[in-house]
Amino acid sequence: MKITVETIVHAPIAKVWSAYTTPADIVQWNAASDDWHTTKAEVDLREGGAFSSRMEAKDGSFGFDFEGTYTKIVPLEMIVYAFGDREAVVEFLPNNNAVTVRVTFDAEAENPEDMQRGGWQAILNNFAKHVEAQS
């Protein structure tokens, strides 16, 4: 099953792309709630390149690495990546003075669909807030 989430970011496409793909930005927005944070991020933005983000509960109780490999990069338009046996497609769709960022990903079997959708949507919402605050 595939799940899609999206947000509208009121910023130029170059700024949106940069914030999505730059480790210094990723650690600022990549969390689903205020009690989590990303402590480090690495990006090798090329087809076959790897990425990773270390996500941790702020109280130190739990953490995990989210990592994968980029399988397709179309600058300012699309990023496709594999993580485990799953895949995600990130689309950047400019429209007037904004960019719709749409993420479609393969659901996992451990958590309910609405929980997965909510977590990924919360991260995208944080992304939009981060980019717009920098504009």
- Dist CA 28 CA 58 (whole Å): 14
Statement: residue 47 has pLDDT above 90? yes
Question: CA nearest 38: which of 123, 125, 119, 107?
Answer: 123
Instruction: Note if the pTM is more than 0.75.
Output: yes
Q: How far apart are CA 95 and CA 56, in angstroms?
A: 34
Architecture of domain 2-134: 2-Layer Sandwich (3.30)
pLDDT on residue 135: 74
Q: What is the pLDDT of residues 73-101, one digit of tens each?
A: 999 999 999 999 999 999 999 998 999 99
User: Which pair of tokens denotes residue 71?
Assistant: 């399988």
Residue labelled with tokens 């920098």: 134
Closest by CA position to 134, among listed 5, 53, 18, 32: 18
